[in-house]
Chain A
């Protein structure tokens, strides 16, 4: 173009623009066609402003990339991030290691060639909300760089270069990758570029990188003129065609990754075989061309993979301790142990080096050198010397015991570690041969082996380092598959590993099936190691809890004799049990427990036990509530904490708080058969028959026949329906005998005896009492039998039994402060000396409101008997008002008396008391209350007949 032409164009352009539209039209018309065309084409650039209106420096997306890339080198700063080193290069850009100087943490910075869309930066907020152990967290976003979690390890792509991955590892990695997908898809973030290059294998598992670097959520149709992002090799078919991608596209990509992990090869026209068949099915369905035929959600895929998992022992998978405890346990027991949980990953035990060179210089140095090398591995953790020492102590061995392969293997099993690493060094002339071997300590299977030669002594450590590095890499992978299966054994003092295993099995059984399943395991542990103190102690505890008080006492006595060889905590436990079950001295027990709680303030166990029998049996309900709350706070999975919280509140008549405690447990997915009984009585106290029936139907299997029948019998007896009550008791007794639980059967007989005695059925009462004593002679059975006999006129026998109780249980709290005073008072009454009877009951006064052994933990009868009998004594002495006060006490404490017959009889007795004190109106009212309660009673019950007659006279 000539300059003149140019000037013409310019002149016409300006003239036309600055004139009116008519002038413009005229000017253009006058111009020659070529000129006109030129100028009009310039006018057509109406939107040209867009091009140059923003200053160049703001309009240069590509420059920003350039800027950071050329500047980023070690020591450079990118805002608050200080660049340390370059980690690598990828298709999208480079990755640097940097330090976030504000937080002092290491991060990874990934730069990209292109500037991110504005939209991505907005969406980055959603992506950074992904916080999951298997997702590489996004911390920060810049115009063309990302700041992410630094993952140290290797990519799956790099790993796959060495070939396919073992099945167990594949399943492990798969579950983690899918977990990441589930997390992201749950937040509407699609990965879109899932591939081995985006999956890192790190110390603590697999991490998926670059989530949503494309777009997130619903996307618009991608057309050729917009960007398509994704690596063609791993894209789902619909993505390759530019169609909208969704969660199922990620699932397709995952299928490709899974295939490659299993076979070591990319998916091709010929697919390689995959075993097992279920896994093949999963892979095939991931790789369906049609998204509608694939797994429809990552959650579904996750379930399928989980079902395939080889781990059967679900008790130890993280799904929560609560889930384990939710399985019904049988009658009460309380356990000292840690609840099962997951162990530190990939721990190994390092045995002592076997030094066959004869040169002492190698004795310690080799093991230390090896330890140093192993500790540098991101995949392994070594059991510390301190831990080793503790375990040796539990094995009854001195701390300096040499760690032979056998001992190391036992340590490995006891700590739930995965493998033992053994090594040896031997001299051959002037050369040395080093040898390392790793074994799975459960199966004995060799996992890795390395050998090296050193030409001279000075070269040995180098050679050791070399093979240590080799073996630690090889171990890292194989351990990942083992550790899923290894669970720690209980920490208990016994010299026998086999016994410890049985003991641990008992712990598992407790959590899954309750005491009846655990007792045989404990017996087995004791059979293997008769000196296993804790096994005896726990057996005693559990036996006591199912009503076998004598056996309970016996086992604890044995444990007590072994007291000198146990750990501190075990010692406290045994001492407490001794007080609890052998001497029965509850005050001492409380003292032991409080000292324990003080020494181990974060230990929930002593608090839990304080909330248990000891506070019930001494009537310290407020203290019990506090301790139960502390126990729950320290360990919310403690089942019995909630039960105790409920029963203490029940005893204080705080029924809604009791119900709340159980609801709290239910909310935490904790359930236990004892809760059923508490709920049953809460319904009873509300007069809610439907609620009571509901709990009865809920009782699992054999339990319904056993305990629940007994409670139903009590309720029936209380309203005078003895025929029905007897049937129920028969059922309970038969079931208990069938289950081999003689002591429970005896207690049920005794309860029946007491009821018959109260109601004046003397012959029946005596018969029942005898039957009870024939079954068992435990403390509570003996007392109840003696009580029935005294009321039924067989005073000498009652006195004999009382003397026996005194002899057998000189320190026992319920015996000394409730049973004996009551029995002696009855005896005195029989000998017609009422004032003495009252005096006899004096020792009971401080424990008036305590629960006797017949009431707790599972008999639920006999509460407030001392008060009741005191009332009778006052009545017999003609002191109506004092008598009325005692009976009123019985009526007031409904939460302690529950369904014991005296709850009904107290009305009658109150009536009698008012008669003696001269208050006829109140007397009538009291009689009326009783007769109303007994409106459906069997008509032949002596006490009823008498009551009706007396009422008529009023």
Chain B
């Protein structure tokens, strides 16, 4: 872990310094870690679980990066990247699940044995993701705020740093985005 951490730290710094390749290689390292942690988190999740989703990204960060060698700006960028990764992880997991339900991987069952189910309104992650993607065409910054907060679980302060905007803007963006997305999803 030591060596990896050193490498990731360097990659992070490189990326912060403007090296686009570094981002790709960084992503390659971080993504699997994050996904593993996310799955582990979801597996252990029970009523009353104390682990906050927001802590997830922090944990990965602490695990992968040598914090003595980076500053708050690196951190902010890492978190922004992590939030984006989380979105991808959760969405792809949801997608895999859905395709399974539609018979992609589902077992051969007798129609009479299948449970009869009807569900409520569609508030699934996929719907949110779709709506958010559409929204980002119109309001990229606001969409980013949602991505960071909803998928990444970042705090207002972290979003402020990552996007280099004021706290008031973050709050307003969040309010507006929620209203807009709600309207979209409820229609």
Give chain A residues whose Cβ lies under 8 Å from the Cβ of B113: 90-91, 197, 231, 233
Q: B62 within 8 Å of A by Cβ?
A: no
Would you call B123 and A51 a contact (CB within 8 A)? yes
Determine whether B93 belongs to the interface, using a CB cutoff of 8 Å to chain A: yes
CB distance from B152 to the nearest CB of A (A): 8
Residues on the B chain within 8 Å of A227, using CB: 117-119
Chain A contacts with B in 55-69, Cβ cutoff 8 A: 55-60, 62-69
Q: Which of A63, A64, A66, A69 has the most CB of B within 10 A?
A: A63
Check if A78 sits within 8 Å of B53, measured CB to CB: no
A43-B43 Cα distance, complex, nearest whole Å = 37
Q: Is the CB of A49 within 8 A of B178?
A: yes
- Tell me the interface secondary structure of chain B in the complex: helix
In the assembled complex, the Cα of A113 lies from the Cα of B177 at a distance in Å of 31
Closest Cβ of chain A to B92, distance in Å, is: 10
Q: Which of A10-18, A714-722, A784-792, A799-807 contacts B (4 or more CB under 8 A)?
A: A10-18
Contacting residues, chain B, for A121 (C-beta < 8 A): 47
Q: Which residues of A contact B98 (CB under 8 A)?
A: 62
In chain B between 63 and 117, which residues have their CB closer than 8 angstroms to a CB of chain A? 86-87, 90, 93-94, 96-98, 100-101, 107, 109, 112-117
Contacts of A197 in B (CB 8 A): 113
Stretch at the interface among B6-14, B20-28, B34-42: B34-42
- Closest B residue to A224 by beta carbon equals B118
Whether A63 touches B94, Cβ cut-off 8 Å, given contacts A55-B53, A91-B114, is yes
Closest chain-A Cβ to B85's Cβ sits at a distance in Å of 12
User: In the complex the two chains form, is A14's CB within 8 Å of B172's CB?
Assistant: yes
- B178's contact among A51, A66, A68, A89, by CB below 8 Å, is which? A51
Which single member of A44, A66, A79 contacts B97 (CB below 8 Å)?
A: A66
Which of A45, A64, A92 meets B186, CB within 8 Å? Answer: A45
Enumerate chain B residues within 8 angstroms of A232, measured Cβ to Cβ. Answer: 112, 116
Asked if A270 CB lies within 8 Å of chain B CBs, one says no
Q: Which chain B positions have C-beta within 8 A of A42? A: 176, 179-180, 183
Q: Of B44, B109, B118, B125, which contacts A60 at CB under 8 A?
A: B125
Q: Inside 8 A of B181's CB, which chain A residues have their CB?
A: 48, 51-52
* A153 on interface, CB distance cutoff 8 Å: no
Q: Does B146 contact A (CB under 8 A)?
A: yes
Given A62-B94, A64-B45: A52 and B150 within 8 A (CB)?
yes
* Nearest CB in chain B: distance from A132 CB, A: 25
Tell me if A3 counts as interface (CB < 8 A to partner B). yes
- Please give me the residue from chain B that is nearest to A114 by CB atom: B117
Taken together as a complex, chains A and B put the C-alpha atoms of A421 and B46 apart, in Å, by 54
A146-204 with Cβ < 8 A to chain B: 197
Report the bound CA distance from A65 to B181 in whole Å.
Answer: 26
Chain B CB within 8 A of A446 CB: no
Across the two chains, which residue of chain A brings its CB closest to B119? A227
- Given A67-B39, A142-B46: A48 touches B182 (CB 8 Å cut-off): yes
A342 interface residue, CB < 8 Å from B? no
The answer to the question of A70 belonging to the interface, with a C-beta cut-off of 8 Å to chain B, is: yes
A636, CB-defined interface residue at 8 Å: no
A599 interface hit (Cβ, 8 Å) = no
Indicate if the CB atoms of A48 and B118 lie closer than 8 Å: no
Query: B4 interface residue, CB < 8 Å from A?
Result: no
B128 at the interface (CB under 8 A from A): yes
The CA of A17 and the CA of B47, in the complex, are separated in Å by: 36
Which residue from B96, B107, B109, B151 sits with its C-beta under 8 Å from A56? B151
User: What residue of chain A has the Cβ atom nearest to residue B42's Cβ?
Assistant: A67
Q: Max chain A CB contacts within 10 Å: which of B53, B109, B115, B185? A: B115
What residue of chain A has the Cβ atom nearest to residue B90's Cβ?
Answer: A56
For window 121-179 of B, CB contacts with A under 8 Å fall at 123-125, 128, 138-139, 146, 149-151, 153, 172, 175-179
Is A65 within 8 A of B97, CB to CB? Answer: yes
Docked-complex contact B97 and A62, CB < 8 angstroms: yes
Closest B residue, CB atoms, query A3: B138
**Please, how many angstroms separate the alpha-carbon atoms of A179 and B165 in the complex?**
68
Determine if A219 is an interface residue (Cβ-Cβ < 8 Å): no
Q: Is A1 an interface residue (CB 8 A)?
A: yes
In the complex with contacts A10-B139, A71-B39, A225-B120, A56-B182 CB distance below 8 A: no
- B56, B86, B138 pick with most chain A CB within 10 angstroms: B138
Are A92 and B128 within 8 A (Cβ)?
no
What count of chain B residues pass the 8 Å CB interface test? 57
Contact with B along A374-400 (1 / 0, CB 8 A): 000000000000000000000000000
Nearest B-chain residue to A113, judged by Cβ: B101
- Given A64, A70, A92, A94, which contacts B96 in the complex, CB threshold below 8 Å? A70
Instruction: Identify which of A13, A63, A225 contacts B42 (C-beta below 8 A).
Output: A63
Is A79 in contact with B44, judged by CB distance below 8 angstroms? yes
Provide the residues of chain A in CB contact with B100, threshold 8 Å.
66, 69
Max count, chain B CB within 10 A of own CB: residue among A17, A57, A90, A229: A57
A interface secondary structure, majority: helix
The reply to whether the CB of A230 lies closer than 8 angstroms to some CB of chain B is yes
Q: Which of these, B94, B119, B150, contacts A55 with CB under 8 Å?
A: B150
Given A10-B176, A48-B181, A57-B86, do A64 and B43 touch, yes or no (CB 8 Å)? Answer: yes
Across the interface, which residues of B come within 8 angstroms of A3, CB to CB? 138
Considering the complex, give the chain A residue whose CB is closest to the CB of B132. Answer: A52
Contact B43 A230 (CB under 8 A): no
Chain B neighbourhood of A940, CB < 8 A: none
Q: Is the beta-carbon distance between B42 and A60 smaller than 8 angstroms? A: yes
* A114 proximity list for chain B (CB < 8 A): 117
**Pairwise interchain contact A89-B96, C-beta atoms closer than 8 A:** no
Chain A residue numbers with a CB within 8 Å of B149 are 52, 55
- Residues of A near B43 (CB, < 8 A) are 64, 67-68, 71, 78-79
Contacts A17-B175, A48-B178, A52-B178 given; does A57 touch B183 at CB 8 Å: no
Q: Knowing A45-B179, A45-B186 touch, does A230 contact B38 (C-beta < 8 A)? A: no
Q: Are A60 and B90 closer than 8 Å at their CB atoms? A: yes
Question: Bound state CA distance, A92 and B107, in angstroms?
Answer: 10
Residues in A whose Cβ lies below 8 Å from that of B114: 91, 231
- Chain B nearest CB from A109 CB (Å) reads 13
The CA-CA distance from A52 to B113 in the complex, in Å, is 36
CB distance from B167 to the nearest CB of A (A): 15
A57 in contact with B38 (CB, 8 Å) = yes
Name the B residues within 8 Å of A233 (CB-CB).
112-113
Residue B93 contacts which of A1, A63, A142 (CB distance < 8 angstroms)? Answer: A63
For residue A147, give the distance in angstroms from its CB to the closest CB of chain B.
Answer: 13
> Known contacts being A71-B43, A91-B113, A231-B115, is A14 close to B90, with CB within 8 Å?
no
- What is the CA–CA distance of A592 and B100 in the complex, to the nearest angstrom? 78
Complex CA gap A91/B107 in Å reads 8
CB-based nearest B residue for A47: B182
| Known contacts A51-B123, A91-B114, A230-B116; A57 and B153 CB within 8 A of each other | yes
A220 within 8 Å of B (CB atoms): no
Contacts of A70 in B (CB 8 A): 96
Q: Say whether B138 contacts A57, CB under 8 Å.
A: no
CB distance from B91 to the nearest CB of A (A): 9
Pairwise interchain contact A231-B112, C-beta atoms closer than 8 A: yes
Question: Given the complex, which residues of A lie within 8 Å of B128, measured CB to CB?
Answer: 51-52, 56
Over the window 1-25 of chain A, the binary record of Cβ atoms lying under 8 Å from chain B Cβ atoms (1 yes, 0 no) is 1010010001001100100000000
The reply on A945 being an interface residue by CB < 8 A is: no
Q: From residue A281, how far is it (CB to closest CB) to chain B in Å? A: 28
A221 located at the interface, meaning its Cβ lies under 8 Å from any Cβ of chain B in the complex: no
Least distance between A215 CB and chain B CB atoms (Å):
14
Say if the beta carbon of A228 comes within 8 Å of chain B: yes
Question: In the complex, which residues of chain B have a beta carbon less than 8 angstroms from the beta carbon of A92?
Answer: 115
Other 11 A-B pairs with CB < 8 A, given A13-B176, A69-B100, A143-B45: A42-B183, A51-B181, A51-B185, A55-B52, A55-B54, A55-B149, A60-B90, A63-B42, A70-B96, A229-B116, A232-B116
Query: Which residue numbers of B lie inside 8 Å of A, CB to CB?
Result: 38-39, 41-47, 52-54, 56, 86-87, 90, 93-94, 96-98, 100-101, 107, 109, 112-120, 123-125, 128, 138-139, 146, 149-151, 153, 172, 175-183, 185-186
Closest 10 CB pairs of A and B: A48-B182, A55-B53, A89-B107, A45-B182, A66-B97, A57-B53, A42-B179, A55-B153, A233-B112, A48-B178
